[in-house]
Amino acid sequence: METAVTHGTFVIEKKYPASPERVFAAFADPAKKQRWMEGELEMDFRVGGNERRRSVIKSGPFAGTPITNHTTYQDIVVNRRVVFAYTMTLGEKRISASLATVELLPNGKGTDLVFTDQGAYFEGADGPKMREDGWRKMLEELAKSVHA
């Protein structure tokens, strides 16, 4: 039996030479978050708050197609942790639902960030590998943003 849902979990660990407070602010402050995430951003950063990010794919087979993320914040511990559930829609089609955890650990020289994503990918959607690649790119942009 072939299932229409693919499940996947990945973990990305990054080191930033910036304080946990500075890295946390890059997630919590809409103006700072906009520096490292593409697209239009609306956000209400609080437990139970929502975020909506919309952009348009620039290249590849889906070039010109809108992609929308809807996020609900599940848990926030200032300067330590953010947990959020999010869905991704490509055009009008929902392609995934995920639970993500961002942990910020002081390391004496900055911050160790541990990002864990647990996802369900629908009907042959992009899958865990492409999602992990996307998050790796965004966390690289975050690195540039907290160094500036």
* Class of 5-147 in CATH: alpha beta
Sign of torsion, CA 5 52 36 20?
A: negative
The helix, strand and coil proportions of the chain, stated in percent and rounded to the nearest 5, come to 25, 50, 25
- Evaluate if residue 1 carries a pLDDT over 60: no
Domain boundaries, the chain: 5-147
12-44 per-position pLDDT tens digit: 999 999 999 999 999 999 999 999 998 999 999
62-74 per-position pLDDT tens digit: 889 999 999 999 9
Q: Cα separation of 71 and 88, whole Å?
A: 9
The answer to whether 99 and 85 are in contact (CB under 8 A) is yes
Mean pLDDT on 3-18? 92
